[in-house]
Structure 1
Amino acid sequence: MKTFFTRTASALVFVAVMLGGILWSPFTFFLLFFLVNFFALQEYFKLVRAIDTGYREVSGWHRYGVLVASCAIIMAFTGESFGTTGISLGFMGWWLAVIFLLVLPMGEILLGKDFSLKNIGYSALGLLYITLSLGLLIDMRLSAGVIRFTGSSTGMQPGWMIPLLLICFIWINDTMAYIIGSLIGRTPFFPAISPKKTTEGSVGGMVLAIAVAGIFGYYWGRQWLDLQHWLALAGIAAVFGTAGDLLESKLKRMAGVKDSGNIMPGHGGFLDRFDSLLLAAPFAWLYVQSFMIA
């Protein structure tokens, strides 16, 4: 019972922080995912150190330099949205990112005990897996105010709409997959990676997430998006969100840990909470750029 109340309380706090950060203003959205990126990247590095002990030997310059470069890349995705006196947060971010990404390999050669391209590759993968994904999510949020979308009466959307829809569709897919898997799940989906997932639950979660999006989009959502966009975004969230969850489960299994962290009692770490979003966000961004911008 105590565990149940702990999980419930932490989940309510998590939802409140997420909704506040997403809906309050463009800057709180940026700040929210800036922090998610910072802590999720550190959890990724911890997993890599458990998977390959050679990564523990990277220099402090490498370890902290990658974090700074990551934060700079996230800043760069804000473009001209935040700033005064002609110098934007995005401008500073691009310059810091370029400087650190150019200097980091040189520092690794000079300061590291053993120069390893493999360790540089691990860090680069972390930037692609986490930082690029969240940067593209921020770009979707901030670009919505300056671009026109097809499929609405006004041609414009609230900036938070598509990122929030993506998160909601992922949550619906996960919840429905859990419920259906618990009721009728019999066939293991990827038993070597996630033994509790079933094919029935995973497919059912995807179908119901798309169905909910279709019903809502058909009856209430056409003033913002055409029906096909509701269906496509839900499909992206369901398919690539499930793949993102499996990818992080694979990393944890390789590292021999149950959770990536313990930021939320009973719910794990940042990677555990945002693993689905990390893979779904880039594909949602590609879809928006390809099919939704007028």
Structure 2
Amino acid sequence: MALNLATLKTRSLTAVIFVVVMLGGLLWSHWSFFWLFTIIHFGCWSEYQKLIGKIDPEYTTITPFHKYSVRIAGWCIMLYFTNNAFNIGDFSLHAVGWWVGLICVFMLPIIELLFAGNIRLKNIWLSALGLLYISLSWGLMIDLRAYGIVEMGPGHLDEGYILPCGLIFSIWINDTMAYIVGSLIGKTPFSAISPKKTWEGTIGGAILCVVVIALLGWWMDIFRVVDWIAIAAIAAIAGTAGDLLESKLKRMANVKDSGTLMPGHGGFLDRFDSLLIATPFVWLYVNIFMK
């Protein structure tokens, strides 16, 4: 496909604004990180429920309690994955996430039965899929962020931004390089789900992602280079799968973008689709091979 300079300019301009906001949230503190992903979490949920409503109109009949309590239950998953560094005095966000989440889960079918007249298991199942797709992923992202916060007397040694940033930068590098390589030399379609993707762009993006992250990992000398290679490879492969999954949902819903957060980039799900799928796999790698 030909390189569209107008599209590239629009995407680049909005991406700069996006990157500034993201970097502020990612690097300022563990609290800014938490609130950044809280906003992202609720933004993703709003778009997910709209997409599912377009795919299955019956889902639009869920009660307001169902609609919002499942979002809160999802946020509680994020709270559950916080550690002591996120406590406010003796107030534990982890404990709040556990108990409020349980209340939401147990109350949902009861309220659904009382106000909707019957329990539509399909609607509950679709909401449960959202908890796995969105909330669990962001919960694991919070856990990755908490991983590097070490108790140091009255304060904390905070290196928790390193792993999440490495993952997010891997996704950004892979997406950017895949777009550029595919635009310049891409000829072979990768998938009917996303016709603009090519094998050349996908493979080129993954290779360049691994090379760049490996060099950065070697230069920083914080974790083993082999770990950075693994994280970059997982991000490239799982991230591409996440992009295809969200593209499939949009096709089923017959929409171009999941939202209008950023001109040229779409909504929350458009921007974070790769990260949603890559995060659980990177979390597994970190917990199996790096702890």
2:112 aligns with one of 100, 108, 125: 108
SS, match of residue 197 in structure 2: strand
Contiguous gaps of at least 5 residues in structure 2: 152-156
The answer to whether 1:173 aligns with 2:177 is no
Q: Is the 8 A contact 1:244 1:276 kept in 2?
A: yes
Q: Which amino acid aligns with 1:263?
A: L
Q: 1:288 Cα shift?
A: 0.5
The answer to whether 1:255 aligns with 2:253 is yes
Separation of aligned partners in 1, 2:142 and 2:288 = 17
Aligned identity (percent) is: 53
The answer to whether 1:20 aligns with 2:24 is yes
The answer to whether 1:121 aligns with 2:125 is yes
- The residue number in structure 1 matching 2:73 is 69
The answer to whether 1:287 aligns with 2:275 is no
- Compared CA separation, residues 226 and 132, structure 1 to 2 (3 A): same
Contiguous gaps of at least 5 residues in structure 1: 148-155
Tell me the alpha carbon deviations over residues 260-292 of structure 1, each in whole angstroms, 9 at most, x when there is no partner. Answer: 001122321000110000000001111110011
2:53 aligns with one of 46, 49, 53: 49
- The residue number in structure 1 matching 2:162 is 161
SS, match of residue 27 in structure 1: helix
- Compared CA separation, residues 113 and 5, structure 1 to 2 (3 A): farther
Q: Where do 4+ consecutive residues of structure 1 move more than 6 Å?
A: 1-5
SS, match of residue 189 in structure 1: strand
Q: Is the 8 A contact 2:25 2:36 kept in 1?
A: yes
Tell me the alpha carbon deviations over residues 95-149 of structure 1, each in whole angstroms, 9 at most, x when there is no partner. Answer: 10011011111111221254211100100000100010011001110121239xx
- The residue number in structure 1 matching 2:244 is 246
Q: Is the 8 A contact 2:14 2:263 kept in 1?
A: yes
Separation of aligned partners in 2, 1:28 and 1:157 = 13
Alignment of 1:181-200 (within 5 A): 181-191=182-192, 193-200=193-200
SS, match of residue 278 in structure 1: helix
Separation of aligned partners in 2, 1:130 and 1:170 = 17
The answer to whether 1:140 aligns with 2:144 is yes
Tell me the alpha carbon deviations over residues 144-178 of structure 1, each in whole angstroms, 9 at most, x when there is no partner. Answer: 1239xxxxxxxx98210111011111111111111
- The residue number in structure 1 matching 2:93 is 89
Separation of aligned partners in 1, 2:106 and 2:76 = 13
Separation of aligned partners in 2, 1:3 and 1:284 = 31
Q: Is the 8 A contact 1:61 1:111 kept in 2?
A: no
Q: 1:9 Cα shift?
A: 4.0
Q: Is the 8 A contact 1:79 1:91 kept in 2?
A: no
Cα root mean square deviation, aligned: 1.9
- The residue number in structure 2 matching 1:212 is 212
Q: Is the 8 A contact 2:109 2:119 kept in 1?
A: no
